[in-house]
């Protein structure tokens, strides 16, 4: 099996994230990184779009969920993004990381990563 790994790097979006009053009223920047694995044998052999995983479709769904959402916890935001990444039946592994820049005074960002693997 040829394992394809799609990486979406530093997708910069804005959403409501956090539970402090100021975080509930104003959108904040988040930076999203995705890693999605799927078998690419047919795509490599046939060079047909229908045989490949459409990362643009997944990314558009992520953008919509993030920009329209209101989240108290980073865990919930990352879990929803991860669910979109592995919603396609051919995906066998996915990982999503969300950074919240400037969440801590002396840190560049705080991030949370979740991953998922299809049961065998």
The beta strand positions in 18-108, using DSSP E, are: 28-39, 70-71, 93-101
Q: What pLDDT, in 10s, does the model give residues 70-119?
A: 999 999 999 999 999 999 999 999 999 999 998 888 999 999 999 999 99
Q: What is the pTM of this model?
A: 0.91
Tens-place pLDDT, residues 57-76: 999 999 999 999 999 999 99
CA distance 115 to 111: 13
Query: What is the mean predicted confidence (pLDDT) over 22-41?
Result: 92
Here the tokens at position 23 are 């975080």
Alpha-carbon gap, residue 86 to 82, rounded angstroms: 7
């Amino acid at each position: 099996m040829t394992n394809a790994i799609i990486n979406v790097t530093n997708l910069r979006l804005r959403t409501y994230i956090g539970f402090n009053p100021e975080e509930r009223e104003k959108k904040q920047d988040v930076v999203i990184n995705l890693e999605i694995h799927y078998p690419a044998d047919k795509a490599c052999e046939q060079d047909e779009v229908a045989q490949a995983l459409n990362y643009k479709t997944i990314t558009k769904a992520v953008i919509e969920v993030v920009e329209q959402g209101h989240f108290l916890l980073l865990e919930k935001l990352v879990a929803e993004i991860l669910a979109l990444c592995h919603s396609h039946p051919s995906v066998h592994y996915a990982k999503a990381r969300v950074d919240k820049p400037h969440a801590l005074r002396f840190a560049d960002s705080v991030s949370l990563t979740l991953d998922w693997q299809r049961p065998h």
